[in-house]
Amino acid sequence: MQAKRSRSLMKMLTDVSALALAVGALGACGGDSGPGSDTTLEGSLGDESVREQCTGEARQVDVNNDGVPDIRHHYDGQRRRCSEFDMNFDGQVDVTRFYDQSGERPLREEHDFDFDGRIDQISYYEGDQLVRKELDTNFDNRIDTWMWCAEGLVARAERDRQHGGETDTWEAYENGLLSEAKYDDNNDGRPEKWEIFNAGRLVEVRYDTDGDGRADRSEEIAESEAGPADEPVSCDGRPLEAQDQSEAQDHAADTDSPQDGTGQDGTVQDGTVQDGTVQDGTVDNGAGADGTPWAGTEDVSSSGGDDGEGQ
Report the distance separating Cα 163 and Cα 9, nearest Å. 14
Q: How far apart are the first and last CA of the chain?
A: 58
Residue 274 clears pLDDT 70, i.e. is over it: no
Contact present, 182 and 169 (Cβ < 8 Å): yes
Per residue, the 3-state secondary structure of 50-64, as one string, reads CCCCCCCEEEEECCC
How far apart, in whole angstroms, are the C-alpha atoms of residue 203 and residue 219?
A: 9
pLDDT tens digits for range 168-194: 999 999 999 999 999 999 989 999 999
DSSP state of 294: -
Question: Is-contact 122 110, C-beta < 8 A?
Answer: yes
Residue 141: pLDDT band with limits 50, 70, 90: confident
Give residue 244's pLDDT. 60
Over residues 200-214, mean pLDDT: 94
Q: Tell me the whole-structure pTM to 2 decimals.
A: 0.67
Which residue from 255, 124, 232 is spatially nearest to 178, judged by alpha carbons?
Answer: 232
